């Protein structure tokens, strides 16, 4: 159906990567390697925490959920990219594109919520250690995770439903390797004022507010740590927060990079690099950050690897 310059499209084209024949194999192997590392690394974290009873604490419960979220985030985008490279086909169906938008929003917002919850957990553990087990009881931990899932799902569904009434121009090329909400919205011929307002509102609610909460938590944490008289006590307290702080910096740092890149440049290459740094790289590096900085995770991973070797 066509009316003037508007059309109801049945598919989009992911134009983020140039499929140069000489580089196709390299690009495919690079993304496949990153995806496999992401899956295996996060699965190892989940298994290590599951088999070690000493790690059955709120902090590692949240970490398992974060690892699962990282797996889902990468699985939303990378397999479709690998399939397109192999098939020499850049297309993605209209339903597939909206599904990518919905799922990537769900898991990115869920990760932001989980990082905020983990910051609150560290705040209670360090600033109110005597009440930690009372406050961070199993019921509250499960409730916080379920609430994070509910909020992220509702937000993603609202964004996706707002895309449904839009009609799209004959230009259906998405300058990225997956369907990103802002880029898909820009392709619409109809009025997107409500969509844009909702995007900016959601960005403030699910980025600025959680980050402000994390910063406030760490200000209180640093203040409490500095009051600890012994150097060893301070070092131990800081070490429990180091991994989480590194992951927060990586997640929000790359997110800020995406925002700055889209504001400064509209080129396809900058969009791809920024999106890859946001939706692929942090998910791959998170398991390494926790395994390298946490002695408990190191010990659990060694125990898990020994069990696997004995089983084989």
What's the CA gap between 18 and 85, in Å, rounded?
10
Q: What is the DSSP string of 41-74?
A: HHHHHHHHHHH-GGG-SHHHHHHHHHHHHHHHHH
Across 83-92, 151-160, 238-247, the highest mean pLDDT is recorded for 151-160
What average pLDDT does the structure give for the chain? 85
Distance CA 172, CA 184 (A): 9
Taking only Cα atoms into account, the Rg of the chain, rounded to an integer number of angstroms, comes to: 21
pLDDT of residue 6: 45
Q: Output the 3-class SS for 181-239.
A: HHHHHHCECCCCHHHHHHHHHHHHHHHHHHHHHHHHHHHHHHHHHHCCCCHHHHHHHHH
Spatial separation of the C-alpha atoms in residues 207 and 52, rounded to whole Å: 33
DSSP 8-state symbol, 131 = G
Q: Would you put residue 91 in left (φ > 0), alpha (ψ -120 to 50) or beta?
A: beta
pLDDT number for residue 90:
87
User: Confidence class of residue 5 from pLDDT cuts 50, 70 and 90?
Assistant: very low
**How distant is the alpha carbon of residue 284 from its chain centre?**
10
Quick one: CA dihedral 140, 142, 143, 147, positive or negative? positive
Share of the chain above pLDDT 70, in %: 89
196-234: per-residue pLDDT in tens? Answer: 999 989 988 998 899 999 999 999 999 988 888 887 778
Question: Per mean pLDDT, which range of 150-154, 192-196, 257-261, 288-292 is the poorest?
Answer: 257-261
12 has which bridge partners?
92
Whether residue 128 has pLDDT greater than 80: yes
| Strand 91-93 versus strand 11-14 pairing type | antiparallel
CA 149, 155, 161, 166 torsion-angle sign: negative
What is the C-alpha to C-alpha distance for residues 195 and 10, in angstroms, rounded to an integer? 21
Average pLDDT estimate for 143-153: 97
Residue 132 Cα distances to 128, 136, 225, 234, angstroms: 6, 6, 16, 18
Residue 185 contacts residue 262 (beta carbons within 8 Å):
no
Do the Cβ atoms of 287 and 246 come closer than 8 Å?
no
């Amino acid at each position: 159906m066509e009316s003037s310059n508007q059309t109801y499209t049945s598919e989009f084209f992911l134009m983020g990567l140039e499929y140069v024949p000489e580089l196709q194999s390299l690009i495919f192997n690079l993304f496949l390697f990153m995806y496999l590392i992401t899956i295996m690394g996060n699965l190892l974290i989940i298994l290590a925490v599951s088999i070690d009873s000493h790690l059955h604490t709120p902090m590692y419960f949240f970490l398992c959920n974060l690892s699962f979220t990282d797996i889902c985030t990468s699985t939303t985008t990378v397999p479709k990219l690998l399939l397109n490279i192999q098939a020499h086909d850049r297309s993605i169906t209209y339903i597939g594109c909206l599904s990518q938008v919905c799922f990537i929003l769900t898991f990115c917002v869920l990760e932001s919520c989980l990082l905020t919850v983990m910051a609150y957990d560290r705040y209670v553990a360090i600033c109110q250690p005597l009440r930690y087990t009372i406050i961070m009881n199993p019921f509250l931990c499960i409730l916080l995770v379920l609430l994070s899932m509910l909020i992220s799902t509702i937000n993603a569904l609202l964004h996706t439903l707002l895309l449904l009434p839009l009609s799209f121009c004959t230009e259906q090329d998405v300058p990225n390797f997956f369907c990103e909400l802002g880029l898909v919205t820009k392709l619409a011929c109809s009025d997107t004022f409500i969509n844009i307002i909702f995007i900016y509102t959601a960005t403030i609610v699910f980025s600025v507010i959680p980050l402000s909460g994390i910063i406030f938590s760490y200000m209180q944490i640093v203040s409490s740590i500095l009051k600890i008289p012994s150097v060893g006590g301070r070092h131990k307290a800081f070490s429990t927060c180091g991994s989480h702080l590194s992951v927060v910096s990586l997640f929000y740092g790359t997110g800020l990079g995406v925002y700055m890149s889209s504001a400064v440049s509209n080129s396809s290459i900058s969009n791809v690099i920024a999106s890859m740094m946001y939706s692929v790289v942090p998910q791959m590096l998170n398991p390494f950050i926790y395994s390298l900085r946490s002695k408990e995770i190191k010990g659990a991973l060694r125990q898990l690897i020994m069990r696997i070797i004995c089983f084989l």
